[in-house]
Amino acid sequence: MDIPKAGLRQRIFAWALARFNTRYELFASTYKQQLFTDLTGHILEIGPGTGANLRYLDPAKVRWMGVEPNPFMQSYLHEEANRLGIPIEIRMSTGETLPVADESVDAVISTLVLCCVNSQQRALQEVLRVLKPGGRLLFIEHVAAPQGSWLRRLQNLLTPVWKRLGDGCRPNRETYVEVARAGFEKVDYELINAPTLIVSPQIVGIATKTASRNKMSGESTISQSRT
């Protein structure tokens, strides 16, 4: 299990995320309600951070587990879970090495996480491994601006510093490409502009694992819209 060593930067990042993310959460709340409110069953969230997504889940309908590599997030997670009255289980690991049994979860939540993992494809293969047949990855992820745009050039310029300050975050990743080629049967996503200059645009969507164990993974069916 390859958990990055936690230090002062990780402690500061957890503290800052807990206190200064209100504006973004207000923006994202409509999309999160659409994605998460009707979830049922065993839910795995990768990189849950301070627990901003817990408020959208019904504790009577879900069993929630989080896989979080930053130990300084745990106190904030437990505080939010206690406030909401939702039981939680936290396991320390990364998105690339999920300590979860094969085909054991109904849905995986990932919000602003795939920007931080070392290998997006490895993390996505782990998501496919732990999802039950027909299970879904529900995601909100920021992606690189179009090639040649001034924003893409700015993202490329800032990525080395941004990665150090943002707990591994890389704003110039073409995450939509990686999700599309990971092996999901169907990927539906919407491209949106977020009120966060460097980490915009973003994609909001659902990637569905094939429902048949006998069906070979091929090219995904991709559906994209833009607001």
pLDDT of residue 219: 56
Q: Which fold has domain 8-226?
A: Rossmann fold (3.40.50)
CB 18 within 8 A of CB 80: no
Domains of the chain, residue spans:
8-226
Q: What is the mean pLDDT of residues 102-108?
A: 98
Mean pLDDT of 126-147: 97
CA atoms within 13 A on the CB side of 191: 15
pLDDT band at 227, cuts 50/70/90? low
Task: Indicate whether this model's pTM tops 0.85.
Answer: yes
Distance CA 13, CA 212 (A): 41
Q: Tell me: pLDDT of 220 over 70.
A: no
What average pLDDT does range 148-168 have in this prediction?
94
Q: What is the mean pLDDT of residues 55-78?
A: 96
pLDDT band at 45 (very low <50, low <70, confident <90, very high): very high
Look at residue 81 in the predicted model and tell me its pLDDT. 97
